[in-house]
């Protein structure tokens, strides 16, 4: 009789509402899987040298893979338009390649020399601008009542600012000198690094070609190898991921181009020096939300402040107009509400991903967060469905839409 009661008690234990909600006997299986996974991670940490080839392969593939993926999402809508015009996919890809090569060649021949000259001039004159800025600060302090308070406490602010300025200029010079010396002494490492980057860039067109040609087949292949019960949910997840990445890449590139064009036109109107270079810098840095515009406005503000206080006011007006147009009209029309990420979340994601992975983390942090958000959203949806299944009271159930 005692032997008969034990199985009943075990069955009763696994049939309770809480245990059934957690998975019943599957809970034990899940815990065993987690323990085995922890053992695998521990073993990997002890024999990580075995996986060095895989690590090197990932580091080699990541750069061309990311660049090809970005180009794929930019060119895919154009390829769809060509297919609607009844142009075969292969011929459409070749047409896009010819158009992109022609556009890049045109930009290199016409725009690059002018940007290069402006950049070299700005690098040579920027220390002068910085010194003039600090001198203006000193003159402002001398002509204001702040001098009385500083003299009262015996603060030699002229010397402090002069030392700070000279220190900053010397730091820049030392950094450039050390960089040049490092390049001279580490030619072998530099050549190998440049060779790796060049080879990665060369492989981008080939990866992009096969993505454009067979990219639509990959989700179908993934669905075929998955169990039939998982296919509908997995298809929804992959569709949402594709939508998030596509809308972010296409939207952010278009928004950045619009910002660059507006900044350039605005700076030309007010007579700002290096207008084209500063507009190009604004376009490049605007790929990173919130932090990018701060980086772009800093050199422009220094140049404007040294030029004249009135130029600084005109710069503030231009930048305010650009940000208002971008925030109220351009981004809502191009980006829409596809990402639905709060600005505070974006700032924390950028800071965290930048601290962990550097510049690539800053660039890829937002799309990575968008993908993670899709996964968490679908997992929470499954959680609500499972919770409702084991909840008897209708009032206590989740509202699933």
pLDDT tens digit sequence for 44-76: 777 777 777 777 777 777 878 888 888 898 899
Residue 315 pLDDT greater than 70, yes or no: yes
pLDDT of residue 10: 47
Each domain of the chain, given as residue ranges in start order, spans 1-46
Estimate to the nearest angstrom the gap between the alpha carbon of 297 and the chain centroid.
Answer: 19
pLDDT of residue 2: 46
What pTM did the predictor assign?
A: 0.70
pLDDT of residue 98: 93
Compute the distance between CA of residue 206 and CA of residue 131 in angstroms, rounded to an integer: 49
Residue 94 pLDDT greater than 90, yes or no: yes
Compute the distance between CA of residue 221 and CA of residue 263 in angstroms, rounded to an integer: 45
Average pLDDT over residues 289-300: 79
pLDDT of residue 192: 57
pLDDT of residue 14: 60
- Convert 121-132 to b/e letters by CB count within 10 Å (16 or more is b): ebeeeeeebbbb
Compute the distance between CA of residue 377 and CA of residue 241 in angstroms, rounded to an integer: 11
Tens digits of per-residue pLDDT, 154-213?
Answer: 455 555 555 555 555 555 555 555 555 554 444 455 555 566 667 777 888 888 898 888
Residue 391 pLDDT greater than 80, yes or no: no
| DSSP track, 292-307 | HHHHHHHHHHHHHHHH
Residue 375 pLDDT greater than 80, yes or no: yes
């Amino acid at each position: 009789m005692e032997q008969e009661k034990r199985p009943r008690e075990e069955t009763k234990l696994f049939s309770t509402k809480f245990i059934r909600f957690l998975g019943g006997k599957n809970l034990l299986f899940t815990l065993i899987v987690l323990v085995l996974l922890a053992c695998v991670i521990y073993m990997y940490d002890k024999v990580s040298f075995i996986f060095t080839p895989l690590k090197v392969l990932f580091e080699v593939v990541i750069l061309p893979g990311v660049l090809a993926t970005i180009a794929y999402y930019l060119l895919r809508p154009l390829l769809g338009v060509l297919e609607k015009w009844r142009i075969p996919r292969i011929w459409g890809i070749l047409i896009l390649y010819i158009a992109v090569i022609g556009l890049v060649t045109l930009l290199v021949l016409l725009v690059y020399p002018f940007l290069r000259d402006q950049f070299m001039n700005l690098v040579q004159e920027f220390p002068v601008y910085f010194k003039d800025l600090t001198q203006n600060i000193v003159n402002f302090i001398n002509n204001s009542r702040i001098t009385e308070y500083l003299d009262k406490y015996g603060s030699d602010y002229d010397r402090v600012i002069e030392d700070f300025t000279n220190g900053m200029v010397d730091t820049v010079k030392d950094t450039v000198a050390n960089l040049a010396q490092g390049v001279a002494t580490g030619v072998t490492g530099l050549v190998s690094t440049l060779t790796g980057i060049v080879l990665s860039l060369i492989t981008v067109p080939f990866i992009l070609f096969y993505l454009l040609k067979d990219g639509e087949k990959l989700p179908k292949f993934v669905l075929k190898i998955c169990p039939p019960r998982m296919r509908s949910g997995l298809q929804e997840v992959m569709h949402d991921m594709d939508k998030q990445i596509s809308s972010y890449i296409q939207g952010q590139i278009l928004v950045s181009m619009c910002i660059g064009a507006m900044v350039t036109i605005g700076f030309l109107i007010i007579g700002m020096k290096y207008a084209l270079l500063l507009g190009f810098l604004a376009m490049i840095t605007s790929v990173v939300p919130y932090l990018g515009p701060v980086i772009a406005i800093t050199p422009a503000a220094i140049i404007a402040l040294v030029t004249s206080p009135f130029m600084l006011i005109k710069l503030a007006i231009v930048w305010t107009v650009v940000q208002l147009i971008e925030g109220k009209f351009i981004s809502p029309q191009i980006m829409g509400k596809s990402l639905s990420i709060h600005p505070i979340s974006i700032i924390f994601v950028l800071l965290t991903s930048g601290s962990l992975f550097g510049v690539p983390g800053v660039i890829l942090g937002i799309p990575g967060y968008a993908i993670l958000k899709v996964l968490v959203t679908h997992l929470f949806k499954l959680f609500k469905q499972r919770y409702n299944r084991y909840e008897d009271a209708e009032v206590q159930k989740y509202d699933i839409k």
